[in-house]
Amino acid sequence: MVYIREAHPDSVLFSQKEGTESLLKILQTNSLEDRAENAKMCLETLKLTCPTVIDREDNAVNIAYAGWPDRFVIVGVDGKIAYRGGPGPGGFKPNEVENWLKENAQPK
């Protein structure tokens, strides 16, 4: 997963931070440190365990993959895009991605 800029800055959400759930205002990030903190909170709140990286302040990954507000993209071992889902929220289809992976991913 690549954590990009906040889709809905200033939202107040129930979030997990350091094991405690509370209502927190999620701010737009202006530094890698802030973005990393938001990404960590996102993973903890959603109970995600997938490898995660963060897009830099220049938003180059977001621009290259049109990831805002969310999108599934699978990059093949050759470095080329193998699957590109539609932009979220309407194009955010986890079941479609799961089926694609079952049909196309080779187990190790």
Percentage of the chain lying above the pLDDT 70 cut: 99
**What is residue 56's predicted lDDT score, i.e. its pLDDT?**
92
Q: How many folded domains does the chain comprise? A: 2
pLDDT digits (tens, 9 = 90+) for 81-91: 999 888 877 88
pLDDT band, residue 92 (cuts 50/70/90): confident
| Pair (52, 27) in one structural domain | yes
**What is residue 54's predicted lDDT score, i.e. its pLDDT?**
94
The two three-digit tokens of residue 43, written as one number: 């993973």
| Pair (81, 107) in one structural domain | yes
Query: Which parts of the chain are beta strand (E)?
Result: 2-3, 11-17, 20-26, 53-54, 73-75, 81-84
**What is residue 83's predicted lDDT score, i.e. its pLDDT?**
92
Does any domain span residue 44? yes
**What is residue 108's predicted lDDT score, i.e. its pLDDT?**
63
Q: Return d(Cα 28, Cα 107) in angstroms, integer.
A: 38
For residues 63-80, give the mean pLDDT: 84
Does any domain span residue 62? no
**What is residue 64's predicted lDDT score, i.e. its pLDDT?**
87
| Pair (78, 100) in one structural domain | yes
Domain residues for the domain of 6 are 1-56
pLDDT band, residue 70 (cuts 50/70/90): confident
| Pair (6, 39) in one structural domain | yes
Domain-ending residue, one of 56, 80, 97:
56
